[in-house]
Amino acid sequence: MAIEIGKKAPAFKGMASGDKEISLKDYEGKWLILYFYPKDNTSGCTKQACGFSENIKQFEKLDAEILGVSPDSVKSHDNFKAKHNLQFDLLSDPEKEIATKYDAYGEKSMYGRKYMGIIRSTYIIDPKGKIAAEYKKVRVAGHIEKVMKDLEELKSK
């Protein structure tokens, strides 16, 4: 499914850390930074999660919430959050249904081998539930700063 800027964000619902159910509707009226990552406690994913968490106050000042999504279990997310003191929810997507809706699951390649997996992706969803920005095949370095800068620009429009 192709995601389009300005179109309604695909609805989702799933279990999050702390055993709570979260859906897109929970973020109505707020900006949402929805990001997809491959696996808890791996180097890139940890850097990305910690980067968002370290900047949580700046995102809150912009009236934005952050939600991370990966195929890991709720238990794995609970451990990841506690270990790194993450200040936002992590959604478990073991069947990759949410990632598929957001075009964040697909063919990847490593050392010439092709396989299916989570494509590191981030979306900014506006308070009306529409896709405001999309980042595909994200590189962790500089990403959080780029998302924050773009969010500031989107909010000033």
Domain count along the chain: 1
Q: Residue 21 falls within a domain, yes or no?
A: no
Which residue range forms the structural domain that includes residue 107?
29-156
| pLDDT tops 70 at residue 79 | yes
Read off the pLDDT of residues 47-68 as tens digits, 9 standing for 90 and up. 999 999 999 999 999 999 999 9
The answer to whether 109 touches 137, Cβ cutoff 8 Å, is no
Q: Residue 17 falls within a domain, yes or no?
A: no
The answer to whether 134 touches 153, Cβ cutoff 8 Å, is no
Type of residue numbered 12:
F
| pLDDT tops 60 at residue 88 | yes
pTM across the whole model: 0.94
Q: Cite the active site residues.
A: 45
| pLDDT tops 60 at residue 1 | no
Find the CATH number of the domain harbouring 86.
3.40.30.10
Q: What is the pLDDT of residue 110?
A: 77
Q: Residue 6 falls within a domain, yes or no?
A: no
CA count, 13 A, side-chain hemisphere, 15: 12
Q: What is the pLDDT of residue 65?
A: 96
Q: What is the pLDDT of residue 86?
A: 95
